[in-house]
Amino acid sequence: MLPPLDHIPREIASLGDYEAAARQRIDPAAWAYLNAGAGDEWTMHENVSAFSRLPLRTRVLRSMQGASTATSLFGCTLDSPILIAPTAYHRLAHPDGEQATVLAAGATGTAMVVSTQASLPLEDLAAAAAGPLWFQIYIQPDRDFTSALAERAEAAGYRALVVTVDAPVNGLRNAEARAGFALPPDIRPVNLNGMRMPDQDAAIRALLFGTPVLDHAAIWDDLGQLRARTRLPIIVKGIACPEDATLALQCGVDGIIVSNHGGRVLDGMPASIDLLPAVVEAVNGWVPVLMDGGIRRGNDVVRALALGAQAVLIGRPILHALATAGALGVAHAIRVLRAELELAMALTGCRTLEDIGRHCLHGSSLAQIWPFDRTDDLCLDPER
């Protein structure tokens, strides 16, 4: 395995280049955890390839004076609508772990979502932050522990809670099984230290009868209760259909992330970008809708915003950049993606993020995924 780089060579020009560089620097079993998807990885690949079915529509000779990618979300001012998705165990990718990612996020004006399963204490990460951090929560079998975790995040200065609801059970991790992945003893979910595990009976029943331990899985009431226990904005992550978006709104959430968990939970789900329009339609502007899954180019950010996302999150590319060159790599990867976004905005005639709309996409491609009778108003307004 190669060591991390201390500079960025010119051969690394895109997020895809980071994937190739990272593969040479991560132990194969850890790679299977950090990069794989569930089952046959159809959804994971679909997340990326679906973007290429949305051709962009250019506009020319439009003024770009004062152009900007800046935005604001849940009281956080951000340099761009690109955020760092929560991913577990950054120390599997680089010895500095989340500490390096937090540093890079601050240096680039990017909000980072720290995972419940971070490999470093959430308080230490907050102390190192120079920009906004949000904390991702899995509602744990021990609900009191979950509330205490939310309180710790609030006390440490995290600006929002991202509650992930799409992984009540681990996905079918065939790649991890084949590679024999196990967490090394020195890399642990340290923020879960002291948590009580579900009762032994349920664990034994699961072993004997093959039923998953779902007795303690979160339900909508739990989300409502967490809402009542924290002042932080709650953003629910892992919404994939309009019915669940509506239920989330009824629980009083402040934002929604459309996500299929990077294709790591249920292989066979559609690409995230294909799930987005129906959720946006259901939410109808009540709260911001974000999305993640498969964003690899600035063009993809424009496509997601064109379909109604207010911002996007990136997962694996951050881990690839971290493994390749630590904090420097992550900061560079974010800069590369942002520069691509600026280029795509200039060529689609969008001076600000508010200018991005469905008119940035060719109408014929939209008919596939926009199930509403609105395609007629797509491209006709010359001012848009």
Ligand X SMILES: CCCCCCC(=O)C(=O)O
Would the annotation count 210 as a binding residue? no
88 near ligand FMN, rule: CB under 6 A: yes
CA distance 123 to 133: 11
CA distance 193 to 188: 9
The dihedrals phi and psi of 248, each to the nearest 5 degrees, come to -65, -40
- 170: partner contacted, choices ligand X, ligand FMN, none (Cβ within 5-8 A by kind): ligand X
191 near ligand X, rule: CB under 6 A: no
108 near ligand X, rule: CB under 6 A: no
Q: Are 312 and 295 in contact (CB under 8 A)?
A: yes
In 3D space, the residue among 349, 324, 262, 345 whose CA is nearest the CA of residue 81 turns out to be 345
119 near ligand FMN, rule: CB under 6 A: no
167 near ligand X, rule: CB under 6 A: yes
Pair of tokens at residue 47: 């997340």
Q: What Å distances lie between residue 158 and 133, 134, 188, 315, CA to CA? A: 5, 5, 21, 19
- 235: partner contacted, choices ligand FMN, ligand X, none (Cβ within 5-8 A by kind): none
CA distance 27 to 213: 31
- 132: partner contacted, choices ligand X, ligand FMN, none (Cβ within 5-8 A by kind): none
316 near ligand FMN, rule: CB under 6 A: yes
Would the annotation count 300 as a binding residue? no
Residue with tokens 């609030």: 154
Would the annotation count 295 as a binding residue? yes
CA distance 328 to 107: 10
Q: Are 89 and 371 in contact (CB under 8 A)?
A: no
Q: Which of 49, 58, 68, 170 binds ligand X (CB under 6 A)?
A: 170
Would the annotation count 97 as a binding residue? no
Q: Are 139 and 146 in contact (CB under 8 A)?
A: yes
- 315: partner contacted, choices ligand FMN, ligand X, none (Cβ within 5-8 A by kind): ligand FMN
Catalytic residue at 261?
A: yes
CA distance 256 to 247: 11
117 near ligand X, rule: CB under 6 A: yes
- Could you tell me the smallest distance in angstroms from the CB atom of residue 298 to ligand FMN? 14
Would the annotation count 33 as a binding residue? yes
Would the annotation count 296 as a binding residue? yes
CA distance 166 to 240: 9
Residue nearest to ligand FMN (CB): 315
Q: Which of 12, 15, 88, 336 binds ligand X (CB under 6 A)?
A: 88
Cα-only R_g, the chain: 20
Would the annotation count 294 as a binding residue? yes
Q: Are 266 and 38 in contact (CB under 8 A)?
A: yes
Q: Where is the binding site for FMN, in residues? A: 86-88, 115, 136, 164, 237, 259, 292-296, 315-316
Interface ranges with ligand FMN (CB under 6 A):
34, 47, 85-88, 115, 117, 136, 164, 237, 259, 261-262, 264, 292-295, 314-316
Residues near ligand X (CB under 6 A): 88, 117, 167, 169-170, 261, 264
Question: Which residues are annotated as part of the binding site?
Answer: 33, 86-88, 115, 136, 138, 164, 173, 237, 259, 261, 264, 292-296, 315-316
Binding residues for glyoxylate: 33, 138, 173, 261, 264
